[in-house]
């Protein structure tokens, strides 16, 4: 077994390197179209990654349902704890809760789980990330806008890919060879593009008035790690599933929270600062978190 320091570097360096390329690319003024890349990842890359990782693994429907139950428990705990913290510091719950409740499981969480656990951890990470994506387009939009839009779920490709994968696994039906190869190749673009987009997003965000966003950022990461550990233990998850859940739960504020804050007139500047600061807090504490879950 590799020394822990070497193992941690092998996980962290690819994440930092690819995100740094995205950051540098934007800072150099090179063309970068986040709308197109985001559409590619959300409508093709992540659904293909989900379908490929689930159908190529030995994961069972029961273990996926256990993961989803643990993930739902974690998100409910985030909502309760986040609301309590926001009330304590006298901030409007509706406007700030999505940032505390819904972590960045896509741009950062999936790559970290991939480099930490390889293919064995990806089905669980993608399942939880799909659950969080559902949260963004229901609770996230509902809180940011003041009205729920559950109909959005019907146009979320990751959900349909997840249901298809469950049906295939449950019936023991393999994907045709050409479809499996296509899903594997298309899914392979998701992780690097998400990391490039993370770096590009950080390069474009401006940070002001750091005190309150820093405090909320620490809450997001610390709460996520603690709740993830508790939820994994309560659900009795296996090593890969538990590690994927804990790491995903401890991820920073999602870029979606900033997009929705901008779109619906929320505290966009503070949420932007929380994205930057919580990402730094997460990356700074990631070696410790990896020591716990590996």
pLDDT in tens, 31-59: 988 878 878 887 898 889 888 877 877 77
What is the mean pLDDT of the segment spanning 1-6? Answer: 58
From the list 46, 26, 49, the residue with the least C-alpha distance to 38 is 46
Residue 83: pLDDT over 70: yes
Task: Pick 98 or 263 by higher pLDDT.
Answer: 98
Phi/psi at 104 (nearest 5 deg)?
-85, 75
Residue 138: pLDDT over 60: yes
Residue 180: what pLDDT?
A: 92
Task: Pick 163 or 230 by higher pLDDT.
Answer: 230
Helix, strand, or coil (residue 28): coil
Contact 115, 10 (CB under 8 A): yes
**Distance in angstroms (rounded) separating the CA atoms of residues 170 and 173:** 8
Residue 152: pLDDT over 70: no
What is the mean pLDDT of the segment spanning 247-273? Answer: 84
Q: Number of helices and strands (H, E) in the chain?
A: 15, 0
Q: How confident is the model at residue 1 (pLDDT cuts 50, 70, 90)?
A: very low
From the list 251, 216, 250, the residue with the least C-alpha distance to 95 is 216
Which tokens sit at 238? 């296996």
**Distance in angstroms (rounded) separating the CA atoms of residues 50 and 15:** 20
pLDDT mean across residues, the chain: 87
Residue 207: what pLDDT?
A: 63
Q: Where are the alpha helices (DSSP H) in 28-60?
A: 34-40, 46-56
**Distance in angstroms (rounded) separating the CA atoms of residues 10 and 4:** 10
Q: How confident is the model at residue 148 (pLDDT cuts 50, 70, 90)?
A: low
What is the mean pLDDT of the segment spanning 132-149? Answer: 80
pLDDT in tens, 61-74: 888 889 999 999 99
Task: Pick 244 or 3 by higher pLDDT.
Answer: 244
Helix, strand, or coil (residue 253): strand
Q: Which fold has domain 4-293?
A: Na+/H+ antiporter like fold (1.20.1530)
Residue 11: pLDDT over 80: no
pTM: 0.80
**Distance in angstroms (rounded) separating the CA atoms of residues 71 and 129:** 9
pLDDT in tens, 177-236: 999 999 999 988 888 887 888 788 778 776 666 889 999 999 999 999 999 999 999 999
Residue 6: what pLDDT?
A: 74
Q: How confident is the model at residue 252 (pLDDT cuts 50, 70, 90)?
A: very high
Residue 107: what pLDDT?
A: 75
Q: Please state, for a pLDDT cut of 70, what percent of the chain lies above it.
A: 94
């Amino acid at each position: 077994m590799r020394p822990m320091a070497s193992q941690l570097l092998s996980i962290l360096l690819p994440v930092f390197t690819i995100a740094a390329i995205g950051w540098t690319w934007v800072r150099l003024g090179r063309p970068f179209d986040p709308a197109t890349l985001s559409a590619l990842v959300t409508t093709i890359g992540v659904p293909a990654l989900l379908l490929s990782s689930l159908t190529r693994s030995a994961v069972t429907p029961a273990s996926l349902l256990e993961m989803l139950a643990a993930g739902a428990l974690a998100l409910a705990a985030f909502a309760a704890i986040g609301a309590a913290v926001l009330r304590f510091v006298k901030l409007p719950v509706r406007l700030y809760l999505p940032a505390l409740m819904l972590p960045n499981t896509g741009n950062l969480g999936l790559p970290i789980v991939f480099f930490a656990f390889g293919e064995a951890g990806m089905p669980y990470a993608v399942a939880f990330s799909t659950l969080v994506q559902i949260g963004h387009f229901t609770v996230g939009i509902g809180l940011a806008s003041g009205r729920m839009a559950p109909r959005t779920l019907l146009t979320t490709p990751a959900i349909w890919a997840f249901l298809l994968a469950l049906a295939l696994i449950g019936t023991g039906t393999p994907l045709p060879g050409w479809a499996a190869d296509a899903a594997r190749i298309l899914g392979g673009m998701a992780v690097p593009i998400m990391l490039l987009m993370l770096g590009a997003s950080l390069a474009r965000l401006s940070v002001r008035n750091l005190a309150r966003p820093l405090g909320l950022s620490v809450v997001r990461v610390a709460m996520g790690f603690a709740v993830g550990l508790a939820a994994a233990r309560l659900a009795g998850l296996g090593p890969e599933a538990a590690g994927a859940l804990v790491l995903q739960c401890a991820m920073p504020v999602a870029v979606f929270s900033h997009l929705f804050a901008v779109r619906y007139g929320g505290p966009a500047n503070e949420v932007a600062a929380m994205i930057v600061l919580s990402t730094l807090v997460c990356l700074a504490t990631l070696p410790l978190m990896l020591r716990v879950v590996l």
